Each structure stands twice: as structure tokens, then as C-alpha cells.
Structure 1
């Protein structure tokens, strides 16, 4: 058991175990903990250790019952799992495409970017960031952020791990999280891999901004000589809010109450350098995101 330690370049070798109590003062001085396939990095239930600079590349085990952050990551991507769990749990993250499988009942699509391996019994929360490309997953499958769910692979079939429309979604398309049914723990031993999916029933029930107005960018890529980013809608909208984010998820421009004329609008691209951006449109609680390229 470690109560207080400062380390750098930490490696947990084969048949070795590093255990941190929940109150341990621990830092790796902004380096990643590497764990051998036969090694163990373990935490006491209730631990909140981990950050985007200090996390574990390998399997994390938690002993006990409680609400715990499992600080897993891979290939420079931090993807911590939050679990409200009964008994011991484990998590491991892979920044790679999950196994192929067919979509089960009420699953419209499955992410092809990343996956987790989990065990135990818990209410589980998975996070996403710009690396996760939730923008494409959502916009290619009905345009409803609230349709994002957690799916698990069982016998070659990707199924929802909680009942349809029972998930809690927070954040936006660039940074957010989804939590399984808050009232029912999931037996995580029943699935080999976990990732993000689209809940078919939510897509059916949501009147989304893109479905109802058909927002589209009129010029994409936007050429260097153009002063504005132009877009159109198939329906009339007043007081449209628009945010532009860079590839790292930083807000670089915000427009409040954008006016449209004959179904078309424009956004000044001044101070936007060449590169990839994300344009988020918001209106009356509905939202959608489009990818934008500035030449």
C-alpha cells in the first residue's frame, strides 16, 4: 500500500502489483504509468487519482465498493471510466477500433474509434473528446446527441448495456460523457468490449435541428479569398447561435442571434487560420455540428 510517493517513468512489471489507497498522495510528475500484461495497478474504492497527464496504460483494478475513477488511457489518449460499483471492478482502454460485430436490437451504429474492456458490477460512465469523433457518429445517424449510448459486444453482437432511452448524456459533440441507467447496475462481465453506440429509439423520438431545418455549409472548404463561412437552412430560424471550435476543442468564435435571409446566413472567418474546425449550431435546445475546413 502506498500513502505518499512521487515517481517518474513508473513501470509495473510482470507478477508485480502497485496499490494506492483512496487517500494516497501520488504523482508521476506528468508521466504515464506502464503496466505489464501480467502486472497489476490497483486502487482502493473511492479513489479519484488520474489526469490527462498522469494515467495508466494498462489494466486498472479497484478493490471494494464505492464510486471510483479508473484512470485508464492508451496511445496518449486519457479515457477514464467512472464507476459506481458493488464489489471489485476493472477497466482497460484501447485507442483502436473495436472488434467487428452486427448491430443488435435498438442499436443503429457503433463507434469504430476506441473501446474499453470492463468487469464487475456497476453503473458506468464513459467519456469522449475530439479524438472520439462523436460528431461523425451522431451526424451520420440521425443527428441527435441524446442518442449516444454505451454498447457492449456479446457473441459478435453489439447491444445496449442498459434499456433503451435510459442513458444520461452530458456535454457536447466534442467533449462529453454517457452514463448507463442510474437505477440499475450492469453486469459488466457479460460483454467483451464496450464503446459508444446510437440508440435507435431516441433517434426516432427526437426532432433534431438538422432533421427539421437541414442546415448545410454552402462552401466547404472555405477558400482563402472568402471573407465568410456561408450556410443554408431548409426552414426559417431566428436567433440562431453558432460556435466554432478548433481541432483541440477550444472555442475560437461565438455568434449570438445570427440572422438569416431567405434561408441563408454567413459567419465572419476573420482570424481563422487554415485548418480543420467544428461549427456547432444551436436553436431552442437543439444542436448539431458540422466539420469545416479553412484553406
Structure 2
């Protein structure tokens, strides 16, 4: 039977308003609870837990830092905006949850399940992931370890396309509707928050990580070339080349074709234009969704193409 505050501590003492400890370990079938507002420190050490040990906090808790966090599962009780101070293998990756009822989280500094990408995702991170349960709007943080520069620049170049994605079965999907995630910061340090108006049923996903919202890539990047590039045959029939028309562009147009997972399939430099019409060969392309990236004199445009 689980006993709250049945713990192994190398050094600890309690006071009315605070708790101070060093090298805190929460053993199996035990729980260590920190109420919101409690003065608590681990003296710059990381809390660890047994397989069934639980470190828990009250709703509204903001405890945790890059020196003091939990390498294991954290439970947040009640309803409110709560920081789950989790990390793993020297990486601090706290989740902020605006939750209704109990929420739980654990972070892994490890490669998430590969799976397949849903229709509205252009790519996902292969560096880290979280496991979360409950009902909440969540905020996931990144730093240089997350390598968001590669994820974003290889998939349209828009930081606002970063979104929270979740693994449902073997498919990665957006956990909120397209274009509803909120991004703050830069590619080196920042965070992304799911739709603030609609809490996510976290139980519907087994893993969470960063992904690229396909609709944001289209809407944001196409502003640069939306009037200059028009696809003439979309969807494209099998064995039929991809045709597009340009306006105000006569030369020096580069085109790259990607599959839905962000892999480069074709790259064309200074593509030939005949009366403003360009052709991209449909060579051994199976049916599915692809992405075309157009580059001209520092401007960038992204178009989605469907091969039937």
C-alpha cells in the first residue's frame, strides 16, 4: 500500500513553512508531496524516484529549476496552472499545465517512437519526448539541446510552425487544431503552448514532442510568393509532370521537392521557365502529399502538392 511521504533521504529536516533536503529519493510505493507555496529545496540536487515512487505537487506549484528537478514522474493535484518540474539525463524540461483535475508527466531525453506523420504534420523532433496524462493546456520548453534550428529550417523556416504533436497509436498528430499553438522565444530557447481555449485530453496520446504544423508553413511562408507562384495541376495525375506558373519571375528560381516527412527528393537550380511556366518531373513519385519549396532572390515560398 502506498504511503505518502514514506521516502529515503540522506539528509532532511522539516519546519512549519518549509522542507529542505539533499539527494532526495522517493522509493517504490511511496509518495512525496510538496504543497503549493511551500519553501522547498534539494540544495541543488536532482530528485529521483523508484519505478512506482511518486513526487507530487499541489495545483499552482511553481517549484523547480535547472539544478533542482525530478528525474521521474511528477503528479500535479487539483485544478490550476502548475509546473511539473521534470527532467532526465541532465536535461531540465518542465511542463506547465493549465489543468482540470490531476495531471501527470515524465520526460525522456531519448528518441521518441518513429511512427508515421499525420496529414497536418510536416516533421517531428527525434531528440526528446514527454509522457503526460490528464486534461490540460500544456506548454513544452526547448533549449539548444532540442536543436529546433534543424527542425524548423529543414521544414519551411518558420518558427511559428512549431506545434505540440502527440502519438496516437502509431501516428503522430497535432494535439490541438492547426494554427492554434502559441510560440514564444527563438530557435535556441523558447516554448510552445497548445490551444489555450481547448484543453487537451492527454490520455489520448502515448508520447508528446515538437512537430511542424503544415498549415502554418503554408500560410506564413506563402505570403512571400503567394501571388508569384501558382500550381496549374493540383492534384497531379500519376505519370504527369508538376506544372506551375510564375509572375514577375523570369530566372534564378530554385525548387526543392520534399516528401511529407521532410526528406529531399528532388532539387532543381535555376529551373527553366517557358512563358512563365515551369515543369517539375513526376519521376517515380508514389501517390501521396509532397511539399515544394520555391526560392528566388532571398524569398521563400512553400506549396503543398498531391500526387494521385
TM-score by length of 2: 0.67
Q: 1:18 to 1:173 in 2, by over 3 A?
A: same
1:176 matched to 2:190? The reply is: yes
- CA shift for structure 1 position 211: 8.6
Partners of 1:142 and 1:211 within 8 A in 2: no
Equivalent residue for 1:64? Answer: 78
Structure 1 residue runs without a partner (length 5+) = 213-233, 236-285, 287-295
Structure 2 residue runs without a partner (length 5+) = 6-13, 227-251, 254-299, 301-308
- CA shift for structure 1 position 183: 0.3
1:137-180 deviations in Å (ceiling 9; x for gaps):
00000000000000000110000000000000000000000000
Equivalent residue for 1:4? Answer: 18
Equivalent residue for 1:274? Answer: none
Superposed CA RMSD in Å reads 2.0
Provide the C-alpha distance between the structure 2 equivalents of 1:209 and 1:31, rounded to a whole number of angstroms: 48
1:44 matched to 2:58? The reply is: yes
Task: Flag the structure with larger Rg.
Answer: 2
1:90 matched to 2:71? The reply is: no
- CA shift for structure 1 position 207: 2.7
Equivalent residue for 1:108? Answer: 122
Partners of 1:149 and 1:178 within 8 A in 2: yes
Provide the C-alpha distance between the structure 2 equivalents of 1:211 and 1:79, rounded to a whole number of angstroms: 37
Equivalent residue for 2:29? Answer: 15
1:132 matched to 2:134? The reply is: no
TM-score by length of 1: 0.70
Provide the C-alpha distance between the structure 2 equivalents of 1:170 and 1:135, rounded to a whole number of angstroms: 14
1:28 matched to 2:42? The reply is: yes
Q: Secondary structure at the match of 1:7?
A: strand
Partners of 2:156 and 2:221 within 8 A in 1: no
Provide the C-alpha distance between the structure 1 equivalents of 2:191 and 2:37, rounded to a whole number of angstroms: 26
- CA shift for structure 1 position 210: 10
Equivalent residue for 1:293? Answer: none
Provide the C-alpha distance between the structure 2 equivalents of 1:133 and 1:112, rounded to a whole number of angstroms: 10
Equivalent residue for 1:249? Answer: none
- CA shift for structure 1 position 209: 11
